[in-house]
Amino acid sequence: MNVIIIGAGGHGQVVADILQAVVKSGRSSIRPIGYLDDQPAIPPSARLGLPVLGPVARLSHYDHQGVIVAIGHNATRSRLIQQLCEQGEQLISAIHPTAIVGGEVIIEAGTVVCAGAIINPGSHIGRGVILNTGCTVDHHNRIGAYVHIAPGVHLGGDVTVGEGTLVGIGATVMPQSQVGVWSIVGAGAVVTTPVADRCTVVGVPARPI
């Protein structure tokens, strides 16, 4: 299966590395063939051995059977995924071979699970989520679409994180906590009480700003 990566920045190269690791492990026949990126500052040079093929509008010019949107900004990733789905594109996920995925875990299409991430049993991971390096998602979590769980985050059991939310590097969300949609949990924060929709919280314990 030929796959095109949307986004040639840092996260795009992380995704390329995951896909290449999956191929080397023999777990999948997915073959990343290159990146598409609308940023004019991105030169048409190889990154991790894959070419930058041009802007996203050229997607139909290349033989492919799947796409993955590798853009860290949640709102941009959401918009592009919805656009590509409307065009009939097949979203694929990228799960690093060193990630640990427990039983009865559901991972929806377009999600990236980075090296060292852990998802414990019964959790549901929505469409287009990023579970970044070394994060832990404990049992029976509900992670909404387009969420970014940053490196080193720890989510306790029975946590709910709403659509589009960013949980920053090294943050901790205590068990049974609820975090609203399109919110931001600052780096290193400790969430002990519910976080409202479209709210930014920081500190220990986390408080709105």
Report, as residue numbers or ranges, the catalytic residues: 139
Cα gap 209→207, rounded to integer Å = 7
